[in-house]
Structure 1
Amino acid sequence: MHVFVDASELAYTALSYFRIIDRGIVRVALVAAKSKVAPLQALSIPRLELQAAVLGVRLVVVVEVVEPHSIPVQRRIFWSDSSTVLSWIGSDQRRYRPFVAFRINEILTESDEKEWHWVPTRLNVADEGTKWTKIPDLSQHGRWFKGPEFLYKEEAFWPQQNQHLSETTEDLRVVHVHKHLITEPLVDFSRFSRWERLLGALRYVYRFLWRSKRVDSENISTRGELQAAERIVWKQVQSEEFHDEMVILKRNLELVSREQHLQLPKCSRIINVSPCLDEFGVMRSESRLESANLIQYDARFPIILPRGHHATNLLLDWYHRKYRHENGEIIVNEIRQRFSIARLRIEVRKAAKHCQWCRVFKAVPNAPRMAALPPARLMPFTRPFTCTGIDYFGPYLIKIGRSCVKRPLTYIPLKNSEEESLTPNHFLLLNSKGTCQPMKTPVQDGIVLRSSWNLIQNVLDRFWNRWVKEYLPTISRRTKWFSDTRPIKVGDLVVVVDDQVRNKWVRGRVLKVFPGKDGRVRKVELQTSTGVYQRPVVKLALLDVEGSSTA
């Protein structure tokens, strides 16, 4: 079976022929033909030729499957004069746009790539159904019904493709390729924990490179090595964090006219510090102190460093240790003499927060939320000193004077402003003056006893009512330790706070914790160099040391 397909701007056509060899005689007969008008939506000629190829495949399916013929088909050959369509069929359809890819997939599903051949336009009989500018020859002896002349010849005389079909770029799928240059940094700053170690390592590297390039025996000074090592750090840090800005500034150095200089994008993080490059390629801030020749060059053109970079953190830690963990403003002032770092005060405070020395020697107790009052302090209608606590081992220091027992415990009474405020004397002598009431002369023993008992009960009732209403509300509010804190756990390292001597605080490790009724740890047992002790949490400062806790 031979199938011819062709298309034009007006229509596309497919024809199917049987080529039969009967007793040495070649016979060709038209089996089926199908023509369609081109769609109203404008399509390119290669796409219309592809539509014709799809129509030819579908026509073969009808002849072989839908309405099968009694003559068996031993071989199929598809003819097309479009090199683009033949190139699409021989290529990977995934490389092309959906319109082409879907139709190529249908063609290869019902046919094989080797079945498709090229034919010149003048020999393509399907051209009779697509060119409407001339009257087609549809006579019985015309080529529409009889087929092309070359089908009556041997296969060696059939049309052959003179040139190898190359992949076409028609309707290729657009693929966006992003080029990203990955450069390996010269120095891995994360491997260093101290600024001195970083400069020391780079100094030896620079010394090696210097001596390998120099023929003579001239040596560079140690100060020069350190300065060169610092420049290596500055340039790498700035290239990592401000790459786009560095590219623009280097480009501007190559331009003679300032009018041709490229401007930094407005979204740049350092546009407000007016960056520029010095003779070594280090980015500096072009400040307004440019004409102040009496101050150092670094102060007039401070080096720009990014906040949060590991190298910057190492530098801030070095300044923090150099000035012996002192006030942050001193460190800020010294850093500003050479460097321009955004939010410098915040970064300096972070450096102090991460300093291990400050964590140990500036630790303070972190008390849990203030506990509820014990029941003994909330019991009304009880005598003074009913519940007492005795310190058997501490020093006895008792100072009870009139000024103490007369101190008001509450404000002016609620009911009558002329009444007395409650004082400690009311617990002892039922009045604020601290003197006993004079005894009245009894008239009759029974009356005196009844009146005295009634008087005492009345005074007591009034006192305890006022105590509940006026004094208890004043002690219900917490005066400190309002928030929950990180509870001390077994294995934590702590120091025992001694208000008398700061430099002799004892360090210890928590062995056991004692939670209170509310579940918060308020007392612990700890091991020190002198023994095992129990101490309240408010007298312990937790050391923030990594690996100090096993919990």
Structure 2
Amino acid sequence: MDDVHFPDSYPMALKRTKQLERKLEKSPELYQNIRDQIKRYLESGYAHLATESELNDAEWKNGSYFLYQSRDQWPCTGRIDETNEEARGVVLCHAVVDAAAVSRWVKLVRVTATAVRFIANIQRKKAGLPTVTSKATKIQHRHIKAEYLTVQKPLQQEELREAETILWKQVQFDSFPDEMSALMKNLQHKPGLPLAKIEKSSCLYKLSPVLDAEGVLRVRGRLEKNESIPFDKRYPIILSRKHEITKKLILHFHEKYGHANRETVFNELRQKFWIPNARAAIQQVRKECVWCKVNRCVPRIPMMAPLPVQRITPHLRPFSAVGVDYLGPVEVTVGRRKEKRWITVFTCMAIRAVHLEIVHSLTTQSCLMAIRRFACKRGAPEQIFSDNATCFHGADIVMKKAMEKINSECAEKVSSTATA
């Protein structure tokens, strides 16, 4: 064990303990939470308080005894039993950018391209080459302190294309990990060994998927020898419809073609991508589109209210209950001048008969005269319905006062006759 060196971790542990003590002094709530947690561990049996003999134990402080012996004297672990379970290799793909944190497809591609440029700049800086940067804003200038040899360039087409490739591979590794693992193994296939096959239960089994030179999963169709059409049409890219990146891509096509119908977006997507059950995915994105919700919403027809009692009561004479309103103004010629006149429309609530009267002005007196003429011709109505126009409101007040006066006079006559 002469070649093995164990660093002294005491200063590091002491520094960490001091930091924790200062943090507990500033936050009594944190101190109480830690005490409660330790108490729960003690009660549940996951931990116990150390005794003095345990604290003074040299092995607890300095580690196991065999660590200070040569490696060949270390205790040998038990042999691992053989198993019939299949050892399956899994290919992992770590996301460059969190797609859920970005709202648009174009922004997601540019953010990923910026990350790609950052990785390339690290390699250039290590090789002593100038880094490629975009033009910094005023706020970015405040935070830039170090000076490096740089070349200002906007995001290039190659960087954007590489960013799209990374996003497509991220969707495929997240959605089809078993299929990607099998196809990646076939790329490293050794002669004499069987090829890895995609299981028949896979949703991609009938698509005969293949990997292109960049490791993107594509559909192998029957047009692969037709070189007159683009490569993306011959080998569409397979994407899962439930992935967040695919939803942003569909929304991008939906907005790019003017919030068109489902079949238009479907046709444009099929030029480059193969999304299983794509029509359902497009319809779901269309339902969540804010612009479509606002501009294509259909007003709901309200339920019709029940007819009023005056409209459905049988065996009533015409104009027992009427609705009244004004029509106009209408210009009439009086001598050599023109004057305004209005037409009072009385409508029977039962049989929808109409009676018209002419009024000379919008005053209360003109309204009362029109109602009087109507009552003389059609009989006094039991109920009159109108809007809250000024003339109708004034006529209502005048008629109520007249009724009160008539009632009081009749009451006086009846009482005087009874007492006489």
Normalised TM-score (structure 2): 0.48
